[in-house]
A and B are shown apart, each in its own frame.
Chain A
Amino acid sequence: MGQRQSSGIFGSGANPGRFPRLCLASLLVLGLAVAASPAFALEENVYRQFMGIDSRRLIWFLAQMHLFFGAFVLGVPLFAVIIEVVGWNNKDPKFDNLAYEFTSLLSVAYATTAALGGLLAFALFTLYPTFMGYMAGIFKDIMFLYALLFFGETFALYMYYYGWNWLKGGGLFSTKMQWLFKGISLVIAAFGLALLLGAIGPAMRVDTRWFILLLYILPLAVGFWIIRDRKSSHIFIGILLNVFGTAIMQLANSWAGFMMSPAGVDADGVLVGTVWEAFENILATPIAIHRMLGNLAFGGLVAGAYAAVKFIGAKTAEEKAHYDWMGYISNFVAIAALIPLPFAGYYLGREVYSTSAVMGNNMMGGDFSWTFIIQAMLVGSLFVISNYYLWSGMTRIPGAERYYKFIKYILFALIVSFAIWLTPHNLPLTSQEVGEMAGSQYHPMLKYLGLMPAKNAVVNLIILATFFSFLLYRRGNMEDAVSIRAQGKGARITILIVGGVAIALVAQYAVTMLQMDPAELDLPADRAEFIRMIGYVLVFECLIGIVAIILALTDRGKLGQAIYLAVTAFNVTIFLGVYGFVVMEKASPVLRNVAVSQFLQLISCLVLVAVIDAFLFKRAKSLGGMQWGKMTVRSQYALLLLTFVITMNMGLMGFIRSGLRGDWHIFGIMRDTSDWAYTPSNFVMTQQVGAAVLLFMIGCAFMFWLGGISSKKQED
């Protein structure tokens, strides 16, 4: 990519100077990376301070700010492109304008992120020279690539934003051109297939392979495939922007992952493997997956906060209607990302455990056990508040009163689940209480609520309840279900395929469970029955899934949905929840398989019920349109609260992830010998994160304000 080329576009743009500054920052980072002397892990660590400030807290704060803005810059384009595609599909300019409105917020955020990134890099290289020298020595190739990707990201972002109106309208491209793009798409798809089959590329973990496949290759192939006119090329640029963003995140992620689970180096820290091995360390991809989903939820919620602020300040009914709608869409995207997030977290946690039981124990039972209680409070509130927002939204749907009666049951399920989730295994006790509980540290009954099987069960129930709220919301103004049989082959085939995939997901695990040799889990042969039992439950789940599909195809879809939901709720929460304790007693390694089976059933349920629902109410008779804007102001504060909570939670989880290393810079390889090599308290964490959240929100308010004045100017 030539700079000359880019200067042509950016020189004439509205933001001269920003691009050169970015380039400068990236080059400086590069320069530092190259200039840093190659250090070895066993050399004595040098630490410096800046103006007597605690270096660790300084780095922590800068990193947190960089990550907040970074998450914004990665999350909002994801969100914007999704909205743009929806608008393009529906031919609804409302969505297109919404996507544009968000993109307009991006350029300031992007520059701020880069500036903060530069600051963070400087701080790291100057305050932790030995450590960073070592990291640069291992990752120099990756760091180069990282800096180069910034050019791509910058180019794509400005192209996406400034090209928005330019790439509108116009006729179709010539057939030859369209075929060319389709050809490229096929080549990329073939490349992806080869990668999937392992024919090309280095040896990779399964999760990394799928990450690359689903987040780089698939979007690119789809992006090329859809190009046929100016608008679709614009969408392609948006996809490209997200691919660059994701890649940048993944590269930077690998450094954080390496610090927790170093790979490719020996015990002295000398690189013995390849850079690829160091890059693809065990935790790199699980963290990347978790971050990706988190970013999408975050992007959606920041957009939601924008809408809420505008709603609260709106003067006319039209404005209110617009921002109410915007808030709803944002929240919808956020919830969609929020639902799989606990599972990504579970997977990450499991990989942390497998990397090191010390880290794992420290995480759940040690220094961070109470941080996890705070985390449970925050995540639980995210779900409860999302539900509240949906219920509030039902008040603007004519006909939704019919479903109010379910709300108290959903609320009951949510709160009881939340209470169980929050019940810690070991409790703060007065010695009087210890005496009253027979001198034990644990309450003889409530202690069970503190164990993993109980937590897994209730988290699943919370997700199911949220999904149920969403179903009620969706059918708020629908008079009654329509006939699926009458919708022809297309509907039937879609239900069969999607439902089939959902059931196959459960079925394949059922087969695994029915065949698994207990020796794989280091269990004696007589414990096989505990694994088989999971298999039987899954087979039952599959059968009910098939029944649900049959019912849906014979126009009894609602019954099918109800049966499948009920059976899943029973299996996942009650049966496997209790069974988890049995397993824990007799064959504790199987507990992991129980958790995976719960997850698969839940996902299958969400997918199958959603696809039936999509057709059940397709063009159903409406009881009246949405009365956008007729929403309580409280609900907008709820939306704001969601954003605050997710931001605080991001900071908190960053603390856990980074803090798990204890007094290691690179776990097991390079010790942190500085004065700050201890785990800060939760209070210190809330101070650090709170300050970062405050500053980030002020930054957001400033960006929203900037976006506001620029659009005002356009209107004038």
Chain B
Amino acid sequence: MNVTITRIFPFLLVVLGVYLWIGYSITELTGGGRKSSAAVDISPEGGEAIYWGKGRCFTCHSVGGQGSAVRGPNHGQFGEKFPLSMGARAVERARERAEKEGVEFTAVDYVVESLASPGAYVVKGY
């Protein structure tokens, strides 16, 4: 039975490796896997699951190189148009907003407002 281990087992591993590679590349090709979205914790991962799942945020937004929708602004750093990350962008917007309206605004306030009532403050170009 030595032969099984030395010759056939590696052969099996190669075959399974090819199988995994096919599964991997096809999944990559077809837009990545889905994540569970029925019930998630309040955590970055949970948010991400909702973003790419039930929340359907990805139909309009992308995050950096992830996703391909361009209807809404990209939520990550991407190209010349989106030099800032989401957090830094929110800080800047909150400041702009506070200046304009004279009300105290934090970055969190801004993000929450954008989610709850997207039309409240629309950035130029959208």
Contacts and interface: CB of A to CB of B under 8 A. Distances in A.
A226 interface: no
A313 B1 contact: yes
B38 A677 contact: yes
A458 to B, nearest CB: 21
Interface string A684-716: 111101100110010001001100100000000
B112 interface: no
Contacts of B40: 675
A515 interface: no
A708 B34 contact: no
A370 B9 CA distance: 29
Contact of B33 (A673, A680, A693, A697): A680
Contacts of B59: none
A544 to B, nearest CB: 41
A684 B26 contact: no
Nearest to A651: B19
A648 interface: yes
Contacts of A361: none
Interface size classification for chain B: 20 to 34
B33 A681 contact: yes
Contact of B23 (A637, A677, A685): A685
A644 interface: yes
A682 interface: yes
Given A312-B7, A640-B11, A681 B34 contact: yes
A309 B3 contact: yes
Contacts of A7: none
Nearest to A673: B38
Given A309-B4, A686-B22, A428 B12 contact: no
Contacts of A374: 22-23, 26
Nearest to A679: B34
Interface in B1-23: 1-4, 7-9, 11-13, 15-16, 19-20, 22-23
A684 B53 CA distance: 17
B70 to A, nearest CB: 12
A685 B40 CA distance: 22
A428 B8 CA distance: 35
Contacts of A677: 36, 38
A682 B12 contact: no
Contacts of A694: 12-13, 16
A675 B2 contact: no
B36 to A, nearest CB: 4
Given A370-B26, A428-B30, A686 B8 contact: no
Contact of B1 (A373, A377, A676, A701): A701
Contacts of B30: 370, 428, 681-682
B36 A678 contact: yes
A312 B33 contact: no
Contact of A686 (B1, B24, B36): B24
Interface in B22-58: 22-24, 26-30, 32-40, 53
Contacts of B9: 701
A50 interface: no
B27 A683 contact: yes
Interface size classification for chain A: 35 or more
Interface in A634-684: 637, 640-641, 644-645, 648, 673-684
A678 B34 contact: yes
Contact of A693 (B11, B16, B35, B38): B16
A370 B28 CA distance: 12
Interface string B70-83: 00000000000000
A687 B8 contact: no
Nearest to A427: B29
A244 B2 CA distance: 37
Contacts of B3: 309, 312-313
Contacts of A428: 29-30
A96 B39 CA distance: 58
Contact of A676 (B12, B16, B36): B36
A309 B8 CA distance: 8
Given A683-B33, A685-B23, A637 B11 contact: yes
A67 to B, nearest CB: 18
A203 to B, nearest CB: 40
A675 B24 contact: no
A644 B22 contact: no
A704 B9 CA distance: 14
Contacts of A680: 33-34
B11 A684 contact: no
B33 A684 contact: yes
Contacts of B26: 370, 373-374, 682-683
Contacts of B29: 370, 428
Contacts of A675: 36, 38-40
Nearest to A705: B1
**Which of A309, A675, A683 has the most chain B CB within a 10 Å cutoff?**
A683
A690 B27 contact: no
Contact of A690 (B4, B16, B39): B16
Nearest to A701: B4
A546 B28 CA distance: 54
A-B pairs, 8 with minimum CB distance: A686-B23, A681-B33, A313-B3, A683-B27, A681-B27, A675-B36, A683-B23, A428-B29
Interface of B: 1-4, 7-9, 11-13, 15-16, 19-20, 22-24, 26-30, 32-40, 53
6 contacts: A312-B8, A374-B22, A640-B11, A676-B36, A678-B38, A705-B1
Interface of A: 309, 312-313, 370, 373-374, 377, 428, 637, 640-641, 644-645, 648, 673-687, 689-690, 693-694, 697, 701, 704-705, 708
Given A701-B9, A705-B1, 15 more contacts: A370-B26, A370-B30, A374-B22, A640-B8, A640-B12, A648-B15, A677-B36, A678-B37, A681-B23, A681-B27, A682-B23, A683-B28, A685-B23, A686-B24, A701-B8
